[in-house]
């Protein structure tokens, strides 16, 4: 079980630490343990409770009323509110995200799968990925960046998402359009393929052919495949920390070797900020940017 400090909760929930302290003092809705120096220590269960309460609070529920409810009652309230026809979109998204975080922290696959399936049923896969799954991964990523979740939790969450995407891709009809062909790959030592899989789904759903090479593709092999298959577009992602020069070098080498190829890249915004796109090299900041090329 992980432990969290109040500033971890601030980052995860968006609620200022001063406000969290005031809520605790006034409503006693969390009961953290204390260190010898009187610092608050929170558990996974505290994180889950807070995220659920904040989601309801943003929907108009009073903290004073929510503080007295059990965790089960809060979850039931979230589920009921999310199913209401008049529930606003942000509330629906945040309720799904909060429940996904809770399930991931507890390694509760049935609960995670239930939330994921409900989001897809209500929103469709494309919108569920954009409005729920990406924000969820970002929020969990915030925990990983601050070393508040283990790599095992990362594998747990992304493993389920990966299976869902592959199943959805398998269910698509054969490509019906000609004139464009996409080749998708991850560079050497890059293993985070959720974004690449989602791009594969979007491209195939639009009717274009796509060649999916997957993780950590050696540069020489990539060049051979491009020569053999002659794609019009290639797409890659950069998530793992690496020198900016290596990213620029890979993109430049690809452009020099195949000057007529349209190169698309995406990934961690902070990592890619110094990388300058070129005439046929395009940075996709958001998944919706891919639609420009389709």
What digits encode the pLDDT tens for the residues 214-254? 999 999 999 999 999 999 999 999 888 888 888 888 898 99
> What is residue 99's predicted lDDT score, i.e. its pLDDT?
82
d(CA 195, CA 215): 11
Per-domain boundaries in the chain: 6-170, 182-293
Phi/psi at 34 (5° precision): -125, 145
Tell me the Cα Rg of the chain.
22
* Residue 11 pLDDT: 78
Residue 212 has which token pair?
A: 């999916």
Q: What is the largest CA-CA distance in the chain?
A: 68
Eight-class DSSP state of 214: E
Range scoring the smallest mean pLDDT among 102-111, 194-203, 265-274: 265-274
- C-alpha–C-alpha distance, residues 52 and 94, integer Å: 9
Of 141 and 3, the structure prediction assigns the larger pLDDT to 3
So what's the pLDDT on residue 150? 59
**pLDDT for the residue 176:** 92
| pLDDT value of position 167 | 92
Residue 183 near residue 211 (C-beta atoms within 8 A)? yes
Of 139 and 160, which is predicted with more confidence? 160
CATH class name, domain 6-170: mainly alpha
Question: What's the pLDDT tens digit per position in 257-294?
Answer: 999 999 999 887 777 776 767 778 888 888 888 888 88
Are 10 and 17 in contact by the 8 Å Cβ rule? The answer is yes
How far is the C-alpha of 140 from the C-alpha of 154, rounded, in Å?
8
Architecture of the domain made up of 182-293 = 3-Layer(aba) Sandwich (3.40)
Percent of the chain, pLDDT > 90? Answer: 31
Mean pLDDT of 101-122: 88
Q: What is the pLDDT of residues 11-51, one digit of tens each?
A: 778 889 999 999 988 988 888 888 888 888 888 888 888 88
Report d(CA 161, CA 165) in Å as an integer: 6
pLDDT at 146: 55
- Report, as an integer, the average pLDDT of 126-142: 81
Dist CA 145 CA 140 (whole Å): 9
């Amino acid at each position: 079980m992980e432990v969290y400090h109040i500033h971890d909760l601030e980052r995860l929930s968006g609620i200022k630490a001063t406000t969290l302290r005031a809520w605790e003092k006034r409503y006693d809705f969390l009961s953290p343990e204390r260190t010898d120096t009187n610092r608050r220590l929170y558990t996974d269960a505290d994180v889950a409770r807070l995220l659920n309460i904040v989601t309801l609070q943003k929907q108009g529920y009073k903290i004073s009323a929510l503080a007295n409810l059990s965790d089960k009652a809060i979850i039931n309230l979230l589920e009921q509110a999310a199913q209401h026809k008049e529930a606003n979109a942000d509330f629906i998204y945040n309720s799904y995200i909060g429940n996904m975080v809770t399930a991931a922290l507890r390694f509760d696959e049935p609960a995670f799968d239930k939330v994921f399936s409900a989001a897809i049923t209500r929103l469709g896969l494309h919108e569920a990925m954009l409005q729920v799954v990406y924000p969820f991964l970002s929020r969990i990523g915030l925990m990983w960046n601050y070393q508040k979740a283990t790599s095992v939790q990362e594998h747990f969450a992304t493993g389920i998402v990966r299976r869902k995407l592959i199943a959805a891709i398998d269910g698509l009809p054969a490509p019906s359009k000609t004139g464009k062909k996409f080749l998708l790959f991850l560079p050497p030592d890059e293993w985070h393929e959720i974004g690449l899989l989602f791009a594969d789904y979007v491209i195939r759903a639009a009717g274009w052919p796509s060649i999916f090479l997957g993780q950590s593709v050696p540069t020489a092999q990539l060049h051979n495949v491009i020569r053999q298959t002659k794609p019009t577009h290639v797409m890659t992602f950069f998530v793992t920390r690496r020198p900016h020069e290596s990213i620029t070098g890979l993109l430049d080498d690809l452009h020099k070797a195949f000057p007529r190829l349209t190169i698309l890249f995406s990934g961690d915004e902070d990592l890619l900020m110094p990388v300058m796109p070129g005439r046929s090299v395009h940075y996709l900041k958001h998944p919706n940017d891919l639609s420009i090329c389709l």
